[in-house]
Amino acid sequence: MKPIHIVTEKENIANIVLLPGDPLRAKYIAEKYLDNAMLINEVRNMLGYTGTYKGKKITVIGSGMGIPSVGIYAYELYKFYNVNKIIRIGSAGAFTKDVKITDIVLGKNAYSYSNFAYAIKKSNEKLIKSSNSLNEKILNKSKELNIPIHFGTIYTSEVFDVYHNIDHLKDNIPEGIKPIASEMEAFGLFHIADLLNEEASCLVTISDSRFEENKDLTSEERQYTLDKMIILALESITS
Active site residue 208: yes
Round to the nearest angstrom and report the end-to-end CA distance of the chain: 35
Select which of 22, 103, 161, 208 is catalytic: 208
Helices within the chain (DSSP H only): 23-33, 67-80, 116-121, 132-145, 167-170, 186-195, 219-224, 227-238
Q: CA 88, CA 187: separation in Å to the nearest integer?
A: 11
Conformation bin of residue 197: beta by default, left when phi > 0, alpha when psi is -120 to 50: left
Q: CA 151, CA 139: separation in Å to the nearest integer?
A: 8
Q: CA 95, CA 119: separation in Å to the nearest integer?
A: 27
Least Cα distance to 232 among 166, 158, 157, 138 occurs for 138
Give 23's contacts (C-beta < 8 A, 6+ positions apart).
45, 46, 47, 48, 61, 62
Which element (helix H / strand E) includes 129? Answer: strand 127-129
Positions annotated as catalytic residues are: 208
